Structures are given as structure tokens and as C-alpha cells.
């Protein structure tokens, strides 16, 4: 990133927001990743040493949202819907089309939900910005999240865990386990020595 907060290789004519911190060794493929970014916190997104956010990654971060990505994390086209906090530990791999959402952004009550969606065409920009209760997502160190996974509000995924492709994670995941399915359930346990040896 240069002094104008643009990316020299970027295909999109955008800038990185002032309250986004990207380590000088990290890589963000395009500023298009921040077209839905609205955080007003001092550090809305922090991307750590040697980490990468490739094309298709989208930071849909609300005014109070904060996303922290640790060191040597690979994010390959994931979507972060964050109104409070999403934290990604070091050495984590996030495959393409993963959705991490710390909030649902619409009410569960159908009448209230209908009222919220009816207002969308009447305001600019046309988006749902209904205040809902958010619960932080925390992903531990050395986690592998397969493609098309959806991680729902309040979930903690423990260190060294693996989440199988196309899983929906509604509950916490114990460290050093493999989970999969909808909803995600335990498949088997991993040997922590194998994981830590690789790091």
C-alpha cells in the first residue's frame, strides 16, 4: 500500500480506509474488499504479518465492528459480516466462499423483518442496517475452514480444529477436532502433537 492508501496492483479504483491497519508484509488483493466497510472504530480491520486476503474477500463491517486477522493467515474469498468482533488466530486457513457472521442483521420476528426490508428501497445506500444483537466470533490458531462454510454468531473455534466443507457451525468447536455437516458435529479428534510439530 502506498501513501495514498491505494494498492499499486489493484484492478479497482478504490482506497484502503484510514482505520484499516495492514502489516507491511501482508497482502490484500483489492480495495474492492472494503466497498461494504463502514466501521468507525479506531481499528476496524487489522491484518497481521504475512497474512493474505485474496479476491472475493469482503469486509462488510458495521459502524462498531472490528475484524482482527492474525499472522500468516490465508483468507481466500471469504465474507466477514461483522457488527461487533471477529477474531482470526495465527496460521489459520479460510477457504473460498466462507461466511463469518457475528450478527443476523434482521429480526427473527417475521412482521418486524418485513418492516425492515420494506424500508431498504427508501434509503440510500440501499442496505439493511437494522440494529441487532451481535455476538463475537473467535477462531483459534492453526484452524482450517473448508469452502462454503458458514460460521454463525457467538461461535468459538478452538486451536488446531478443522471445519469440513459446506458445514454450518452453530456451536463452539473443541480444539484439535474435525467437525462437519449442518449443523456441524464432531467427526473425530486430532493429535495436538502432529499439529504443533508442523508449526
Q: Any idea where the domains of the chain sit in the sequence?
A: 20-152
Residue 197 has pLDDT above 60, yes or no: no
Among 2-16, 20-34, 72-86, 103-117, name the one with the lowest average pLDDT: 103-117
Determine the pLDDT at residue 126: 58
- For residue 118, what pLDDT band results from cuts at 50, 70 and 90? confident
- pLDDT mean over 126-149: 85
The model's pLDDT over 94-112, given as tens digits with 9 standing for 90+, comes to 999 999 999 987 766 777 6
Q: What percent of the chain has pLDDT over 90?
A: 77
- For residue 133, what pLDDT band results from cuts at 50, 70 and 90? confident
Determine the pLDDT at residue 151: 98
- pLDDT mean over 35-60: 96
Determine the pLDDT at residue 128: 62
- pLDDT mean over 166-193: 95
DSSP codes, the chain: --TTS--TT-SS-----TTEEE-TT-EES-GGGGTT----STTSEEE-TT-EEETT-EEEE-TT-EEEE-TT-EEES-EEEESSEEEE-TT-EE-TT-EEES---S-SSHHHHHHHHHHGGGSSS-S---------EEE-TT-EE-TT-EE-TT-EE-TT-EE-TT-EE-S-B-TTEEEETTTTEEEEE--HHHHHHH-
Residue 124 has pLDDT above 70, yes or no: no
Determine the pLDDT at residue 191: 86
- pLDDT mean over 165-177: 98
* Surface-to-core class of residue 185, CB atoms within 10 Å of its CB (0-12 exposed, 13-18 middle, 19+ buried): exposed
Smallest Cα–Cα separation from 143: which of 40, 47, 73?
A: 73
Average pLDDT, the chain: 91
Amino acid at each position: 500500500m502506498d501513501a495514498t492508501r491505494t494498492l499499486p496492483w489493484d484492478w479497482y479504483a478504490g482506497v484502503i480506509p484510514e482505520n484499516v491497519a495492514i502489516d507491511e508484509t501482508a497482502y490484500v488483493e483489492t480495495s474492492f474488499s472494503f466497498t461494504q466497510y463502514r466501521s468507525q472504530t479506531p481499528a476496524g480491520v487489522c491484518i497481521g504479518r504475512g497474512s493474505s486476503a485474496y479476491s472475493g474477500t469482503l469486509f462488510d463491517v458495521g459502524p462498531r465492528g472490528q475484524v482482527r486477522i492474525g499472522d500468516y493467515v490465508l483468507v481466500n474469498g471469504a465474507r466477514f459480516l461483522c457488527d461487533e468482533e471477529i477474531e482470526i488466530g495465527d496460521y489459520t486457513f479460510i477457504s473460498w466462499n466462507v461466511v463469518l457472521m457475528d450478527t443476523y442483521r434482521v429480526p427473527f420476528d417475521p412482521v418486524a423483518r418485513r418492516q425492515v426490508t420494506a424500508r431498504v428501497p427508501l434509503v440510500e445506500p440501499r442496505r439493511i442496517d437494522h440494529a441487532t444483537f451481535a455476538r463475537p466470533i473467535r477462531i483459534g490458531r492453526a484452524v482450517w475452514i473448508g469452502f462454503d462454510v458458514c460460521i454463525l454468531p457467538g461461535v468459538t473455534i478452538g486451536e488446531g480444529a478443522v471445519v469440513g466443507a459446506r458445514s454450518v457451525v452453530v456451536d463452539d468447536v473443541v480444539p484439535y477436532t474435525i467437525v462437519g455437516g449442518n449443523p456441524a458435529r464432531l467427526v473425530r479428534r486430532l493429535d495436538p502433537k502432529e499439529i504443533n510439530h508442523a508449526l
